[in-house]
Amino acid sequence: MSLQAIQQAVSGIAPSRVFRVSITNVPAVVHRWIAANPGQSALLIANGILIFTPAALTGPLLATMGFGASGPIAGSVAAWLQSILGNVGARSVFAYLQSAAMGGYGVAAVNGIVQALGMISGAAVTAYNWPRRPNTRTSESTMPALSSTVLNSSDQDYQAMLTTEPLDTANIAATPTRDNADLYSARR
């Protein structure tokens, strides 16, 4: 059977669209958030890599520690640990690490632990910068108020961008009183 015959047979089954994602198609608000939070962005990306491809970390880490495909490598941390431990018991931490390096039963356990740590770390990073909710008892926000709002007119959506810089009142146009009253009533 030729490749063309296979393509014709599969063409009715396979979806006709190919979805592509490009960093240039990401909304501007995401680019601004990444620029404003580079450290948190890097941690979340690293956690995503750990969650979806844990072997990208565990394989090189185990090899660096001296856990090889045929056993502990001479002169390594793994060999030193084995010399201290003596006879290694089955299903011990050392046995799981060596099994993971050899591609045995330890792979799932070690990769699962790395994935769990990636999820915990991602949740901690996200929770650290999570927007704080208003305090319902005192009707005050638990998050400190920012000093000004700067309008970014170069943005297509003309969205307000929050900054901590002092408010420059010389470049602000007057706004209708009705809008200010609506904003004031919405805050109460």
Q: Who has greater pLDDT, 148 or 85?
A: 85
Distance of CA 42 to the CA centre of its chain: 7
End-to-end CA distance of the chain: 73
Rounded distance, CA 61 to CA 155, Å?
44
How far apart, in Å, are the Cα atoms of 61 and each of 55, 67, 120?
Answer: 9, 9, 20
Q: Which long-range contacts (CB under 8 A, 24 or more apart) does 36-45 make?
A: 37/129, 40/125, 40/128, 40/129, 43/121, 43/122, 43/125, 44/122, 44/125, 44/126
Long-range Cβ contacts of 89-95 (<8 Å, 24+ apart) = none
Considering only residues 144 and 98, tell me which one the structure prediction assigns the higher pLDDT: 98
* Highest-scoring range by mean pLDDT, 28-37, 40-49, 61-70, 130-139: 61-70
More confident residue, 163 or 61: 61
Tokens of 7: 């393509």
